[in-house]
C-alpha cells in the first residue's frame, strides 16, 4: 500500500480505470465537471481524464469546492472497513450462522447497503462467506481425526440424511474405542506381497482396521500409537486369506469381511456411502456428498475419504474427479487405476 504522496497521477488514474478497491482510502478522485469526488473504485461511469484531479482525502477535495459522491460514499471507507471487520468477527464467533439483518444492525447500515459494502471488501456476500467458513470448519474438524464427530455438524452442516439412518449398522462396520490411541487393544498385523505391491493388513478382534500399500510397522504404529501390535495369529491368518482374495478380485462381494473403523461419525458416514458404490462403477466427490444429503460437501467428503484406513474394502478408489482421470490416491494413482481396471472400469 503506497501513500498518496508516492502516487503519480498516472498510477492514480490507472487505479480508477481498474476500479481498484485496494486504493480506496488512499486518495479520492475529484471530478470538476460534476462537482463531486469519488473513491477510486466508484462503480459510476468513468469521468473524462481532463476533468479529474486527485486529492489525498475528502477534506482536501471539499477544500476545492467538491462534494462527496452519494453512490460510493468516499468518506465512509474507514467506517466500511470497520463494519466489514466487525461482521467477519461476528460470523466467525457464531460459526457462520448469523443473518444479514443481524450483521447490518451491528454495523448501523441497512441490510442491502451492508451487503454491497461486504461484497466490495471480500468479493462475496455475507451468506457465501459464512458458508465458506462453515466448510473450512468442517474440513478442519475432519483433518483432526480425534475431534468429536459432531463437530462437523456444529460447523453448520445439516443433520445426516435418511440414507444414513437406513444404512447404519447394516454394513459390517464397527468401531473400537480408538480415543486413547488404541490403548488396551490388540492389533494383529502382517505384510504380504501382492501384484499391487507390499500390502499391510491389520485387524482387531472386531475386524480389519487397516489395509494399505507399501507401508510397514512404523506407519501402523503411527495410525494406532498405543495399541499392542502382534505379528500374525491364527484367526488373523484366516482373515488374511480372504483379504488377499478380495484384493485380487475387488469386484467380488466383500461385505462378509468385518471392519473395525477408526473415524468420526461423519467420516464413517462417508465410508458407508463408499461401500454403496457398486464395483465397476465410480462416483464423483459431489455425487458421494449427495448420497449423504449434502451435495455441497464434496471437499469434506474428499478429506474423509483420504482418512480411510482400509483401502479396497472401503472402496475410496471408486470416487474420481468429475473432470475426468482417476484423481489422487493415498498409495499412488497407479494402484487406484489398477483397482478400477480389475473392477471393469476402462
Ligand atoms: Zn462515486
Taking only the tens place, the pLDDT of each residue in 44-86 is 899 999 999 999 999 999 999 999 999 989 998 878 878 888 8
Characterise 312 by phi-psi region: left (phi > 0), alpha (psi -120 to 50), beta (else). left
Under the banding of pLDDT at 50, 70 and 90, the label for residue 327 is confident
Distance 119 CA to ligand 1 centre (A): 17
Window from 54-63, 172-181, 229-238 with minimum mean pLDDT: 172-181
CA distance 36 to 70: 9
Q: State the distance from the centre of ligand 1 to the C-alpha of 28, rounded, in angstroms.
A: 9
Residue 25: pLDDT over 80: yes
Mean pLDDT on 302-330: 89
Closest CA to 87 of 60, 58, 113: 113
**pLDDT tens readout for residues 235-273:** 888 889 889 888 888 877 777 788 888 877 778 888 888
CA atoms of 331 and 222, how far apart (whole Å): 16
What does the alpha-carbon distance between residue 149 and residue 270 come to, in Å, rounded to a whole number?
A: 12
Report how far ligand 1's centroid is from the alpha carbon of 109 (Å): 18
Question: Which residue is associated with the grid cell 463437530?
Answer: 151
State how far the Cα of 200 lies from the Cα of 188, in Å rounded to an integer.
11
Closest to 257 (Cα-Cα) out of 207, 305, 212: 207
Can you give the pLDDT at residue 168?
A: 37
pLDDT of residue 209: 93
**pTM: predicted TM-score of the whole model, two decimal places:** 0.52
| pLDDT beyond 70 at 113 | yes
Contact in structure between 264 and 149 (CB atoms under 8 Å) = yes
Beta strands in the chain (DSSP E): 28-31, 36-38, 52-55, 67-68, 173-174, 186-194, 197-203, 208-213, 228-231, 259-260
SS3 260: strand
Give, to the nearest 10 degrees, the angle between helix 298-306 and helix 265-275: 90
Rounded to an integer, what is the distance from CA 104 to the centroid of its chain?
27
Q: What is the mean pLDDT of the chain?
A: 81
Would you state the pLDDT for residue 144?
A: 44
**Span from the CA of 113 to the centroid of ligand 1 (angstroms):** 15
- What pLDDT score was predicted for residue 294? 73
Determine the pLDDT at residue 136.
62
Q: State the catalytic residues.
A: 38, 316
> Looking at residue 278, what DSSP letter applies?
P
Amino acid at each position: 500500500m503506497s501513500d498518496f504522496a508516492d502516487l503519480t497521477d498516472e498510477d492514480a488514474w490507472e487505479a480508477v480505470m481498474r476500479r481498484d478497491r485496494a486504493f480506496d482510502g488512499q486518495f479520492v478522485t475529484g471530478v470538476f465537471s460534476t462537482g463531486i469526488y469519488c473513491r477510486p473504485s466508484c462503480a459510476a461511469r468513468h469521468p473524462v481524464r481532463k476533468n479529474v484531479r486527485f486529492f489525498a482525502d475528502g477534506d482536501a477535495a471539499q477544500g476545492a469546492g467538491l462534494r462527496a459522491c452519494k453512490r460510493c460514499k468516499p468518506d465512509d471507507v474507514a467506517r466500511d472497513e470497520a463494519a466489514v471487520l466487525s461482521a467477519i468477527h461476528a460470523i466467525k464467533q457464531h460459526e457462520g450462522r448469523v443473518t444479514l439483518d443481524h450483521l447490518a444492525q451491528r454495523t448501523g447500515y441497512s441490510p442491502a447497503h451492508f451487503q454491497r459494502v461486504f461484497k466490495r471488501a471480500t468479493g462475496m456476500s455475507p451468506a457465501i462467506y459464512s458458508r465458506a467458513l462453515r466448510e473450512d470448519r468442517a474440513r478442519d474438524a475432519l483433518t483432526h481425526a480425534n475431534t468429536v464427530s459432531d463437530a462437523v455438524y456444529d460447523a453448520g452442516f445439516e443433520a445426516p440424511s435418511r440414507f444414513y439412518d437406513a444404512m447404519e449398522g447394516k454394513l459390517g462396520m464397527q468401531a473400537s474405542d480408538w480415543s486413547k490411541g488404541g490403548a488396551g487393544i490388540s492389533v494383529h498385523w502382517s505384510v504380504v506381497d501382492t501384484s499391487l505391491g507390499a500390502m499391510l493388513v491389520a485387524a482387531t478382534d472386531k475386524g480389519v482396521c487397516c489395509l494399505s500399500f507399501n507401508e510397514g510397522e512404523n506407519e501402523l504404529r503411527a495410525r494406532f500409537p498405543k495399541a499392542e501390535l502382534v505379528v500374525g495369529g491364527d484367526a488373523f491368518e484366516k482373515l488374511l486369506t480372504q483379504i488377499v482374495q478380495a484384493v485380487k478380485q475387488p469386484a467380488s462381494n466383500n461385505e462378509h469381511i468385518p471392519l473395525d473403523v477408526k473415524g468420526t461419525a461423519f467420516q464413517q458416514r462417508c465410508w458407508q456411502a463408499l461401500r454403496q458404490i457398486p464395483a465397476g462403477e465410480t462416483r464423483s466427490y459431489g455425487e458421494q456428498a449427495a448420497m449423504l444429503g449434502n451435495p455441497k460437501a464434496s471437499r469434506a467428503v474428499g478429506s474423509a475419504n483420504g482418512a480411510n484406513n482400509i483401502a479396497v474394502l472401503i472402496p475410496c478408489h471408486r470416487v474420481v474427479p468429475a473432470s475426468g482421470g482417476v484423481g489422487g490416491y493415498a498409495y499412488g494413482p497407479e494402484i487406484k487405476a489398477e483397482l478400477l481396471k480389475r473392477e471393469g472400469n476402462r
